[in-house]
Amino acid sequence: MLCEKCQQSPATIHLKQNINGQIQDLYLCSNCAAKYGMPYSFDSFFKDVMDSFLSTTDKQPTKDSPPDDRHCSVCGLTYEEFKQTSRLGCANCYKAFRSELDLVLKKAQGNNRHQGKIPNRCGEELLIKQEIANLRSSLKEAVASEEYEEAARLRDKIKHLEEAGRQVSS
C-alpha cells in the first residue's frame, strides 16, 4: 500500500484519528508521518518505551554493589546488552531475565500472560487447559488455608475437566 499523502513511498505507519467523533485511518510513509509530528520509526519508538520500563524496574546500584553480570547461558547475552538493545538473543533469555521481563510486561500490558483471542480450531482445548490451571491454583490455596471441602470440590472439577479435555483432543 502506498502512502496516502505522497502516493510514492510504501505506507509503513497506520495513524488513527478521532475527529469530531469520526474515526479516520491514514496510511503514511515515515517521511509524511514525521510531518504529522510522528518522528519515530517503530524500532526507535519500541526502544524508547522499553528503556523507560527498564529504567523504572531496575534497582539503582550503590557504590558497594557488584556489577550486574547476569547473562543467558545459551546465547551469552548479558542483561546490560538487553537493556541497551531491548532485544533478547534467544528463547532461553526469557528464563534468564524472567523477573525483569515479568515486571516490564505487567507494567506495559497489565499482565505477563497472553489474554488475546483464541483460534476456533483449538479454542475449546485451550480454554479447558486454562481453566484447569486456574482451578489447580485455587486448589493449592484451599489446601493451604485448610478449606478441605472446597479443595475436594475443586479436585473433582479438575478431574471432570481433564476427562472433557481428553475427549476434545481425541
Domain that holds residue 97: 42-60+68-109
**Mean pLDDT to the nearest integer, 107-122:** 68
In a domain, 91, yes or no: yes
Check pLDDT > 80 for residue 42: no
pLDDT at 120 over 90: no
- Provide mean pLDDT across the span 88-97: 85
Question: 59 pLDDT exceeds 90?
Answer: no
10, 48: one domain: no
Average pLDDT value for residue range 100-123: 71
The answer to whether residue 117 sits within a structural domain is no
Residues 34 and 48 in one domain: no
- The reply to whether 46 and 99 lie within a common domain is yes
Q: Which residues 6+ apart lie within 8 Å of 163 measured at CB?
A: none
Measure the CA angle with vertex 150, ends 149 and 153; round to 5°. 90
Residues 30 and 53 placed together within one structural domain of the fold: no
DSSP letter for 64, please: T
Query: Is the pTM of the predicted complex or chain greater than 0.85?
Result: no
Q: Do 103 and 47 share a structural domain?
A: yes
Q: Is the pLDDT of residue 157 over 90?
A: yes
Residues 49 and 89 in one domain: yes
Same domain assignment for residues 91 and 56: yes
How far is 48 from 132, CA to CA, in rounded Å? Answer: 38
Band (pLDDT 50/70/90 cuts) for residue 129 is confident
16 pairs with which residues across the strands?
25
Percent of the chain whose predicted confidence (pLDDT) is above 90: 18
Using a pLDDT cut of 70, give the percent of the chain over it: 71
Between 121 and 103, the more confident residue is 103
Looking at the structure of the chain, the number of domains it has is: 3
